[in-house]
Amino acid sequence: MMTNWKFNTLAVHSEQSPDEKSGAVSQPIIPAVAYSFEDADAAVAVVSGEIDGRYYGRYGNPTTRTLEKKMATLEGAEDALGVSSGMAAISIALMAHLSSGDHVVVTKDVYGGTHKFLSTIAPRYGMEHDFVDCTSMACVESAIKGNTRAVYIETPSNPSLTLIDIKAVAKITKRHNIALIVDNTFMTPYLQKPLELGADVVVHSATKYLNGHGDVVAGIICGEKKDIDYMRKDVMGDLGQNLNAWESFLILRGIKTLGIRLEKHCRNAQKVAEFLEMHPFVDKVYYPGLESHPQHLLAKQQMKKMGGIVSFEVKGGVQAGKDFISALKIALISFSLGDPETLVQHPASMTHSSIPDDLLAEFGIAKGLIRLSVGLEDVEDIISDLEQALLSVAVTVNK
Ligand SMILES: Cc1ncc(COP(=O)(O)O)c(C=O)c1O
């Protein structure tokens, strides 16, 4: 690997070369659970971590290892760990940093699954949390207590696309000698590099843009080697949250086109956001690429481009929002994001339904908010679809 390779060259070539035996260019899929050793000492050396190698499928796999090394390269991390889902990545990273009696500061409008994990399962094991407005450094600073071990943020957030200044939060966490964990799912390393901005751990739902084709559930954690080793051996492996070879192969394949896919997602999303902002039947549009976004300047500083997710409120409230998504013909109503297809959803009744109404309001998630994952179709077709659905709802509401 050349040290001066740029992102797309690394995405295609790093950690991958033709198979020595067959000459096959694409990554071999090795489903083996068991691995043999020359002698007993070699087995001990691999299990103890003295030599890098696989020994039992629950603790790692060779195809997954290629993916882990590639992700470490792309995020600029010492090492990475492939796991069974984005929620596995998030829960493993949190469990590795918190013991019973420890506390984590968490950004307010966090992904619904992360909110649920922290407010239902984690407290049963003594892990404390506070949901805090992490756009304000004064709020982050004052939320840190004697037993705080980490700050957990997501930027831009799901679904309201609020940004958090990673560099500024990292200054605070470094001063307090606690970990900064960043969910980089919406951006991927192509658009944002949290570790370069001072974060300690990056978590991903690889289910989204990294795989990019809507056919894998997976997660990745990137960070320091000693942290990743601990997460592999003492959390992921013991809890059985490992990723399998076939899914690792699919993500490796997806990553080869990550750059070109994201360029198109971002171009389409910018045009869609500009269209929605001008539309008389739309109340409010949330997209970091719009000058009207309150953190547009921060977005330009810490993100390469503005991403593929656009959120907005349709005039007429919750029912109009639901009627609107039902009237769409290209965009599919779906819980996921980051796929070639344009996907739409209503967070209050779908991805964030586990969050109580009063908290949704406090987190700035309007009940009529709609989240659009802008796909790879021709943008004129996506916009015509939005236009016909907006018109049909406008007619019903004005009757
Ligand atoms: C920002 C973010 N993080 C994490 C997750 C969880 O990922 P997974 O569904 O792969 O567990 C999601 C899922 O939508 C997400 O949007």
Q: Residues 137-152: pLDDT tens digits? A: 999 999 999 999 999 9
Mean pLDDT calculated for residue range 94-108: 97
Structure tokens at 168: 């500024």
Using the mean position of ligand 1's atoms as its centre, give its distance from the Cα of residue 360 in Å.
18
Ligand 1 probe mutation, 109, 152, 185, 203, most atoms within 8 A of CB? 185
Give the Cα separation of 333 and 224 in Å (integer): 38
For residue 349, the model assigns a pLDDT of 76
Side chain identity, residue 94:
L
Give the Cα separation of 137 and 161 in Å (integer): 18
Average pLDDT, the chain: 94
Give the Cα separation of 164 and 177 in Å (integer): 20
For residue 399, the model assigns a pLDDT of 63
Find the largest Cα–Cα distance for the chain. Answer: 80
For residue 1, the model assigns a pLDDT of 66
For residue 121, the model assigns a pLDDT of 96
Residue 127 to residues 31, 61, 85, 139, 200: CA-CA distances in angstroms? 36, 31, 21, 20, 20
For residue 388, the model assigns a pLDDT of 97
CATH topology of domain 258-398: Aspartate Aminotransferase, domain 1 (3.90.1150)
**Is residue 104 within 8 Å of residue 94, measured between CB atoms?**
yes
Is ligand 1 within 6 A of the CB of residue 93? no
Task: Please say if the pLDDT value at position 281 is more than 70.
Answer: yes
DSSP state of 57: G
Q: What is the pLDDT of residues 48-88, one digit of tens each?
A: 888 888 999 999 999 999 999 999 999 999 999 999 999 99
**Secondary structure (3-state) at 323:** helix
Q: What is the pLDDT of residues 224-238, one digit of tens each?
A: 999 999 999 999 999
Q: Which residue has the higher pLDDT, 331 or 2?
A: 331
Q: CA torsion 348→353→354→358, rounded to 10°?
A: 30
Q: What is the pLDDT of residues 177-220, one digit of tens each?
A: 999 999 999 999 999 999 999 999 999 999 999 999 999 999 99
Q: What is the pLDDT of residues 160-175, one digit of tens each?
A: 899 999 999 999 999 9
For residue 316, the model assigns a pLDDT of 84
**Secondary structure (3-state) at 316:** coil
- Domain borders along the chain are 7-30+61-255, 258-398
pLDDT-derived band at 128, boundaries 50, 70, 90: very high
CATH class of 7-30+61-255: alpha beta
Q: What is the pLDDT of residues 345-376, one digit of tens each?
A: 988 777 777 777 777 777 777 878 999 999 99
**Is residue 216 within 8 Å of residue 207, measured between CB atoms?**
yes
Using the mean position of ligand 1's atoms as its centre, give its distance from the Cα of residue 68 in Å.
18
The percentage of residues in the chain with a pLDDT greater than 90, rounded to a whole number, is 84
Is ligand 1 within 6 A of the CB of residue 87? yes
Residue nearest atom 9 in ligand 1 by C-alpha distance: 86
3-state DSSP helix/strand/coil % of the chain, to nearest 5: 45, 15, 40
Catalytic site residues? Answer: 58, 111, 183, 208
Residue nearest atom 15 in ligand 1 by C-alpha distance: 111
Using the mean position of ligand 1's atoms as its centre, give its distance from the Cα of residue 230 in Å.
23
Backbone angles phi, psi at 66, to 5 degrees: -60, -45
